[in-house]
Structure 1
Amino acid sequence: MVTEQPLLRIEHLSKSFGAVQALRDVSLDVPAGRVTALAGDNGAGKSVLIKCIAGSYPPDSGRLIWDGHPVFLRGPKDAAALGIETVYQDLALCDNLDVVQNLFLGREKVRRHGPLDEEAMELAARDTLRNLSVTSIRSIRQRVGALSGGQRQAVAIAKSVLWNSRLVIMDEPTAALGVVQTRVVLDLLRKLADRGIAVIVISHNMNDVFAVADRIAVLHLGQLVAVRPIEELSRQLIVELMTSGYSEGSGSDAAAAHRSTPAPAPAPAPAR
């Protein structure tokens, strides 16, 4: 399900670290129900961009429009309150805890008089994994440290959608996975989009990008140089855009992205 108004609109975002300009006037629409892949060489600004969206970095200029309303993210908790969840490459899972404990870490369900509501958490964990068609995990009380790489990614994805997320950001979700495990993770990303969730994925693996993405946004030295539907791109064209920042038609893509961005409005209010 794709709405006409993008779930997230990034307008003229810039971010510097001292003399290093990590992002330069980036404008990008992120629609619900679609997988948007971020492509770019090392240092292109992909990680900085997703950390601005996730509330980890405040942008120096520009703004975020969430569901039609300007927002200012004071931290990851503000992003989570909106429904933005980020799964970084290290997954941020605790190997010594089981699946249920990881899913509810920091958000445990508590009974009225204090003890943890283990039954409610187990039920929610089973429902979430079943809705995502995750069948490879033998027991939700299995320690995460004993799971395979693909199973760990499945737990991380389940954790990201357990809290009614509307945008899920994945950083290199198939890194170091085998062929079968990669297929499972890519299928999960498609299921998220099919449920109307917006997905942003960073991946250096072009085979994975073409297998799962609906559209690709290419960054070069902190600038957005192209945004196109996947069917309009080839691997060679993406590599040209990533390495040089230019290919035939890429200039018009960037110009169109800026032309479609509304003029700046008054200062955004803090996320609630």
Structure 2
Amino acid sequence: MTTPFLRIDGLSRHFDPVQALTDITLEFHLGEVLALVGENGAGKSTMMRLLEGVFPPTRGSIHIDGRPVSFTQPREAHAAGIRVIHQEPEIVPDLTVAENIFAGDLPRKGRHFLDWSRLYADTEARLTSFGMAKELRPRQLCAGLGPAQRQMIEIMRAVQAGGKLIAFDEPTSSLTDEETGRLFTLIRRLRREGVAVIYISHRLAEITELADRVAVLRDGRLVDDLSADGITEAQITRLMVGRPLSDMFPARAPATGDVILDVAGMSTDHVSDVTLQLRAGEVLGIGGLIGAGRSELAKGIFGFHRRTAGAVRVGGKDLPAGDTAAAIAAGIGFAPEDRKEEALLLMQTILENAVLCVPKKVSTGGFFSRAKAL
């Protein structure tokens, strides 16, 4: 059997007190699509961060072409040919398509000048090769591009930089069916060209369609590594959750705690006539397709969107409409879908972000007090 491009032996990683990965041994071959599956928290993202050099393993080793390697930063993993396409593409919006594709490897004239003519010509050739010449232009700014276009730019950057192993982390989560089909065509092309592909997805139909092998993680451990030939979604699911499909949703006793949240006929500019209750100790799941109003419902309860009808009560007390401060004071927390845009101040410290909602508790005379925050 040929030597794998990449092999991990006994890879483990813990974040006190959590053991995120335990004794993982796995091979990744050129010209093969390996699907990495598991429930949320199974360790998939941790494994990708280890391979990309974001942090080192607690123990275990990584080998490339049979030689041991050790990454202390992503730049070293990139130089070794390892690239990860994240759910949120790492694109600089104020740079052009050409500058993003060739970031870190811009062609030069001599030591001090960029070769702009060559950059645009090479980008045009790359766009044509990937079937994107009609959608994107080399000099076009990336601000305002859609998710599929940003993702394609990151893939082109990985390929032009010599990526030998490219991992896709939930790549279709924000794509249309047409865009997903185009991505699958590209992944098959990469496989034919001898690239090792890691494909991470919760959409099991995609796994059975694309993968050559399936590696299943559960609770930070590798429970199986098997051929995808003839595998079914039911088999994958059973390996992921550790129980038969008939027990997928075991019966639970109904919640008997007090009603904590009572939403009665609530309407906003985005949702209409919503009624629900949430009891102490209960987890309420809200499902729906993109655009169905899931996030808008949560924002309406939190007071982010103006309430036009109905009532929201917390602990039996009415919550004023459109008052996020009152919602926070009543004990409601809100983690929005787009954390970077709606929840975090990216230029501030972790400490400052952590106390953002309690300014009075961490200030003296109206000024932020680091001592109080700590």
Shared fold (TM-score, shorter chain, > 0.5): yes
Query: Separation in 1 of the partners of 2:174 and 2:168?
Result: 15
5+ residue gaps, structure 2: 246-374
Counterparts of 1:212-227 in structure 2 under 5 Å?
Answer: 212-227=210-225
Pairwise CA distance, 1:113: 5.2
Higher deviation after alignment, 225-234 or 66-75: 225-234
CA distance in 2: counterparts of 1:174 and 1:92, whole angstroms: 16
Q: How far is 1:245 from its partner?
A: 7.6
Greater shift after overlay, 132-141 or 108-117? 132-141
Q: Which of 170, 173, 198 is the aligned partner of 2:171?
A: 173
Q: TM-score, normalization: structure 2?
A: 0.62
Instruction: Give the aligned partner of residue 14 of structure 1.
Output: 12
The equivalent residue for 1:182 is: 180
Query: Unpaired runs of 5+ in structure 1?
Result: 248-272
Select which of 208, 211, 219 maps to 1:210: 208
Task: Say which of 49, 52, 58 aligns to 2:50.
Answer: 52
Q: How far 1:238 moved relative to its partner?
A: 0.7
Offset at 1:187? 1.2
| 2:145 corresponding residue in structure 1 | 147
Map Cα deviations across residues 168-226 of structure 1 (whole Å, 9 max, x no partner): 11111111111001111111111111100101111111122222211111100000011
* Matches for 1:3-82 after TM superposition, within 5 Å: 4-82=2-80
User: 2-side partners of 1:193 and 1:199: how far apart?
Assistant: 7
Which amino acid in structure 2 is aligned with residue 69 of structure 1? R
Q: In 2 relative to 1, CA 140–208 (structure 1 residues): closer, same or farther, beyond 3 Å?
A: farther
Specify the alignment match of 2:233 in structure 1: 235
The one-letter code matched in structure 1 to 2:205 is: N
Paired amino acid for 1:170: F
Which amino acid is the alignment partner of residue 73 of structure 1? F
**Alignment-derived partner of residue 159 in structure 1:** 157
Give the number of aligned pairs: 245
- Cα separation, 2, equivalents of 1:205 and 1:135: 30
Computing the radius of gyration over CA atoms, which structure comes out larger, 1 or 2? 2
Asked if the contact 1:220/1:243 (under 8 Å) is kept, the reply is yes
Structure number having the greater helix percentage:
1
SS of corresponding position for 1:107? coil
Deviating more after overlay: 160-169 vs 130-139: 130-139
Larger mean CA deviation between 11-20 and 145-154 belongs to 145-154
CA contact (8 A) 1:186 1:211 kept: no
Instruction: Tell me the TM-score normalized by structure 1.
Output: 0.85
Could you tell me whether the CA contact under 8 Å between 1:219 and 1:245 is conserved in 2? no
